[in-house]
Amino acid sequence: MALACTTVLSACQTSAANPATSPSALSGIHKIQHIVVIMQENRSFDEYFGLYPGVDGLPRQNGGFTVCSPDPQRLSCVSPYHDPNDIDDGGPHAHAAAVADIDVGKMDGFVAQAEINPARHNIDVMAYKDARDIPNYWTYAEDFVLQDRMFESVASWSLPAHLYLVSEWAARCSRPGDPMSCQVGGTEPPHPTVGGEFGISPDQAYENYAWTSLTYLLYTHRISWRYYVAEGLQPDCEDGAATCNPGPQRVGTPDIWNPLPGFTDVRTDGQLGNVVTLDHFYSDVKAGRLPAVSWITPNSAVSEHPPSSVAAGQAYVTAVINTIMSSSVWSSTAIFLNWDDWGGFYDHVVPPVLDGQGYGLRVPGLVISPYAKRGFVDHQTLSQDAYAKFIEDVFLGGGRLDPKTDGRPDLRPDVREALDGLGDLSADFDFSQAPRPAVILDPSPQPGSPSSP
């Protein structure tokens, strides 16, 4: 029987990230003693990095773009264009929108989907940004690793994406607490309805995520973890639409960007205390007690989720990364910066098809670490499932979130990280190099240089 550890600082839950152990005394991936996953919201790769040098970006020839998305209202075809606006509208991003945007590999449904909502005045899904608009993100790409084939794990919206992030699955459970009652019907990822069987209700009190999360393996292996939540509002909609009236986001309440309190194993293992407010992240880092595994989720104001400010999101992310870089844990940390889904924005790369739930569209991915390769573009096919695999490789000796071996059976159709084609995040590191110095950036930077299509 597992010990009843109640918090990340519990005496019975230890961490592979022992501050007394110098990374120089370790080898390979075990020089990483802290993994931090920063999840932002609703941006496609082509929108943020489509003009970044050396990537599989927006297709162009002779100075012009060779792709466009048909506009059925204006009987035209909209090409990519630079958008300096800090506030964007984006488009719908539920499963049906993903299917329509991909359009059997034509990748041409974006404008038509954005026009479905008659209240949307600004159709900006073909817009892109560059160093003028997100200079810090481009600087991180220049100094560390940018991944140009990172796909959302599931072809759907934020809640399924966040469920996959912590458990590599999203399902409906018909019996509370019973993982063998959790299933996915057909090819449609779970889309909760108010008061429905998937469990999002107006008071957010009835989530029933009974299958196994990665925290169960961390708990049983006595690896410390925390899920840091920026309290406030969350703008994502309970039906996966583009915009809606914002609802509250609180640490102890299962929610779209905060699903762990809804997992049976988190409650049974006494780990609810590991879901904490964001201020604990800053104090944990400064005190040198950052856990081995951290997830950081924003509130609406800093999420970059339309219609939230891109600049505010970049400033928040920069402050989080600066905090790590200015501390003693920088020398042993890997930061994975990601966006949960495409938000309706254009991307030209056809996602690989796996098991009926994924992959979703391409999203930006950055790796920031003193051991990350400098200015490296990773062309491997990746998904957010790769984060779980890397965590398992670093801290669990290769143990897998696999119902056949993890001690907690469920009915998931496959072990995501074991499927053919998923790349290995260790390729983004050079553990033979001396730890790279921190790159402290201004959270409110001056615009960078424009890109030339």
Q: Which of 83, 72, 78 is nearest to 50 (CA)?
A: 83
pLDDT at position 3? 35
Residue count of the chain, please give it: 453
Q: How far is CA 118 from CA 73, 190, 429, in A?
A: 12, 26, 47
For strands 127-128 and 81-82, give the pairing. parallel
Which residues are registered as beta bridge partners of 378? 147
What mean pLDDT is reported for the chain? 88
| Residue at token pair 């049983």 | 220
> Does the N-terminal peptide bond of residue 359 adopt cis geometry, omega within 30 degrees of 0?
yes
The Cα-based distances of 296 to 170, 181, 232 in angstroms read 20, 29, 14
Which residue intervals of 66-167 are DSSP H helices?
A: 95-102, 110-114, 135-143, 158-167
Sequence-ordered list of residues with C-beta below 8 angstroms from that of 208, at least 6 positions apart, any chain: 173, 176, 177, 199, 262, 264
Residues of the chain whose pLDDT is less than 70?
1-24, 119-120, 185-206, 235-246
For the chain, which domains are there?
Answer: 26-47+131-428 (3.40.720)
Q: pLDDT above 70 covers what percent of the chain?
A: 87
Determine the Cα–Cα distance for residues 202 and 194; give it in Å rounded to an integer: 6
Task: For 183-237, give the secondary structure using H, E and C.
Answer: ECCCCCCCCCCCCCCCCCCCCCCCCCECCCCHHHHHHHCCCCEEEEECCEEECCC
pLDDT digits (tens, 9 = 90+) for 4-50: 333 333 333 444 444 445 656 788 999 999 999 999 999 999 999 99
pTM assigned to the model: 0.91
Name the phi and psi angles at 342, rounded to 5: -80, -15
**Angstrom distance (rounded) from CA 146 to CA 364:** 8
pLDDT of residue 244: 60
Contact 15, 223 (CB under 8 A): yes
How many CB atoms sit inside 10 A of residue 52's CB? 21
Per-residue confidence (pLDDT) for residue 23, from 0 to 100? 59
What's residue 184's pLDDT?
Answer: 84
Strand partners, 110: none
